[in-house]
Structure 1
Amino acid sequence: MYDILVYLFENYYTPQACPRAEILASKLAAAGFEHDDIDDALTWLRELAQTTEQYLDLALKPQTSSAPRIYTDEEYRTLGTEAIGFIVFLENSGALPPPMREILIGCAQATNEGPLSLAEIKVLALMVLWSQEAEVDHLIFEELLADDSQRSPH
């Protein structure tokens, strides 16, 4: 599923440029993706749209509070410490405002996996930002695209 999400990001400049689900599924199959992965990705994208709609009211309200987000035990099990740390990093850098953070958390939980790896949460964050057509600082963008397996230990 994650490979498909990266493929969509790389091949469609905006979410509106993506074809309808049926056509997209055909294009993804033609590109060599497995049908189960295509179904998972399309389901996740539907969940992203539903979660975005759910938090639309929150996004329209002015953000005056800087209180930290408290994660539930279930969120810790689903996301894992590494993913939560990365979400906090994105939030502190200004790349992930609270409404988008909530969308990301909701969509991460929709993967029904856990805990998520750093690479997985990066792809999901990238897709949430892409879906909202958010402007992202160049350095944050590079961090989202960084392959952590290629980094040398410090």
Structure 2
Amino acid sequence: MMDILMYLFETYVHSDAELQVDQDELEDELLRAGFRQKDIYKALLWLEDLAALQNSEQQSAIQMSASTSTRIYTQQEMSRLSVQSRGFIMFLEQVGVLTTETREMVIDRVMGLETSEFELDDLKWIILMVLFNVPGNENAYTLMEELVYTTEQGIVH
């Protein structure tokens, strides 16, 4: 599923391709690219859930929480997000890339993945997808994009 999400993100975001694509057409393109129908369905549902998070009542409650509060992870979250991943999320909050709201959206979307393997690089892509899809986070997206691409080139840890 991560492969499909990354494929879609790179194809439609980085290429400036038309973002309004017919879902059947998109499914056909993904099938031609070699992805399985079951995984395509899950990835598209994951993206729909990401869009739905922006209007969620949960976001109102998150907005009211203090910016100095500490995030306590559930056992499930800790089993999916390594110590390194949780530390990276905290770092991004401290440098202003993630807000309380976007942090929670990232965690929600990480937990929405149906995968047994999840690494820090996967987290970085999820963060990019969330920041891209939430209006008003253009600067944070740009900073995160620079972090991802400089890290891939070996410049940042």
TM-score by length of 1: 0.77
Shift of 1:63: 6.8
Matched with 1:40 is 42
**1-side partners of 2:100 and 2:116: how far apart?**
22
Task: Please list every run of 5 or more consecutive structure 1 residues that lacks an aligned counterpart in the other structure.
Answer: none
The normalised TM-score by structure 2 is 0.76
1:86 aligns with 88
Is the aligned partner of 1:26 residue 2:28?
A: yes
- C-alpha distance in 1, partners of 2:150/2:5? 15
Q: Answer 1 or 2: higher relative contact order, Cα 8 Å, separation at least 6.
A: 1
Q: Is the Cα–Cα contact under 8 Å of residues 44 and 107 in structure 1 kept in the other structure? A: yes
Pairing 1:58-73 to 2, within 5 Å after superposition:
58=61, 61=63, 65-73=67-75
Q: Which amino acid aligns with 2:148?
A: L
Residue aligned with 1:12, SS = helix
Structure 2, gaps ≥5 residues long: none
Aligned: 1:136 with 2:139: yes
Contact 1:29 1:35 (C-alpha < 8 Å) held by counterparts: yes
Amino acid at match of 2:129: M
Runs (4+) of structure 1 exceeding 6 A deviation are: none
Contact 1:6-1:123 at 8 Å conserved across structures: yes
Cα RMSD (Å): 3.0
CA distance in 1, matches of 2:60, 2:22: 26
How many equivalent residue pairs?
151
Indicate how the Cα distance of structure 1 residues 65 and 7 shifts in structure 2: closer, same or farther if over 3 A, else same. Answer: same
2:15 is equivalent to residue 11 of structure 1: no
Compute the displacement of 1:111 (Å).
0.9
Aligned position for 2:120:
118
Conserved in 2, the CA contact under 8 Å of 1:100 and 1:128? Answer: yes
Asked if 2 retains the 8 angstrom alpha-carbon contact of 1:79 and 1:114, the reply is no
Structure 1 residues 115 and 136, CA, compared in 2 at 3 Å: closer, same or farther? farther
Kindly state the Cα deviation for residue 33 of structure 1 after the two structures are TM-superposed. 2.9
User: What is the one-letter code of the residue matched to 1:40?
Assistant: K
| 8 A Cα contact 2:80 2:111, kept in partner | yes
C-alpha contact 1:80 1:114 (8 A) present in aligned 2: no
Deviation at 1:84, TM superposition (A): 1.1
